[in-house]
Homo-oligomer: A and B are copies of this chain.
Amino acid sequence: MTLLVAGWVAIDEIETPFARIRDSLGGSATCAALAGSLFTDVRLLAAIGEDFPSIERQKLEGRAIDLAGLETIPGGKTSRWGGRYHFDMNARDTIYTELGVNAAWKPVLPPGWAGSETAFLAAGDPVLQRDIIGMLSSPRATMVDTIKFFIDAAPAELQETMRTADFVSLNESEARELARTPSIARAGRVLLDAGPKGVLIKLGEYGAAFRSYQDYFVAPGYPLEEVIDPTGAGDAFAGGFLGYLDTVPHITSGEIRRAVIYGSTVASFQVEGYGPARLLTLTRGEVDLRYREFRALTHFEVEE
């Protein structure tokens, strides 16, 4: 089985209350691909410029990630993002976004990739997301992520894309805005009515809520004493979620619940380093250990 990850591979500049990191490997697809590669074979579909450092490419080459779809655009510049976090790390400001090669990227699937069973369309132009889903012959699970920019800029296109995806993931403020309700539970229902089979609402350090017509699952966040950098946590969540789902024989509600916990687990590692640094050394064994810890942290019995 294979997980296709499409989105941005970028260079980030990150400022937290404790440090400032420049020229750091970043991008939604980078984090999701690294997370997914802990579970299954990943295909990375993204565009970079000729300026993309070979040392960063080597980091991706060391994992179970097929880079045949990582296209270097002649004369192009790699996308860049700069962000600054507030004291409690729950809020951030975008300082700049340089689209670079992603301003006009027209993704083309390498031969054989149309058969990918699972696909993650990281936040991006909803038309592009829909086009990529359309290139797949018979995907078993597709997930579309989005951000406030596209909710504001292309709401109708986003709605259309949500209808073509199996799962939609977004963070709680985006869910509230898109569904026009302050209630996370109601937002899940409203977004589900828009067409996908399941809606994953990411609650940052508070965990996540998954809603489908068959199931409602709420998972708390893994309690971390220190968060180094939250950048990419949502994409790592998606990569872990879909990476795990790609490996199961049947996508049941029980497997989706496990996938949420795997996603949450990988996201909890992601925030322990700058950008995807922690994911570069993370092993499946460490993930499974923390998954079990998650269960120990959350388990309770119905009264005897």
User: Which A residues lie at the B interface, using CB under 8 A?
Assistant: 87-89, 176, 182-186, 188-189, 203, 205-207, 209, 216-221, 223-227, 254, 257-258, 260-261, 288, 291-292, 295, 297-303
Contact = CB atoms under 8 A, between A and B. Distances in A.
B297 A225 contact: no
10 contacts: A87-B182, A88-B176, A88-B182, A183-B226, A203-B206, A216-B223, A217-B298, A217-B300, A254-B301, A291-B303
Contacts of A221: 218
Copies in the complex: 2
Given A203-B206, A206-B203, A206-B206, A261 B300 contact: yes
Given A176-B88, A182-B87, A218 B297 contact: yes
Nearest to A244: B303
A87 B181 CA distance: 10
A230 to B, nearest CB: 11
A181 to B, nearest CB: 8
A223 B209 contact: yes
B300 A258 contact: yes
A207 B207 CA distance: 10
Contacts of A225: 183, 185-186, 189
A300 B176 CA distance: 26
Contact of A223 (B88, B89, B185, B254): B185
A300 B299 CA distance: 9
Contacts of A288: 303
B216 A298 contact: no
A183 B87 CA distance: 10
Nearest to A221: B218
B218 A185 contact: no
A185 B224 contact: yes
A218 B264 CA distance: 14
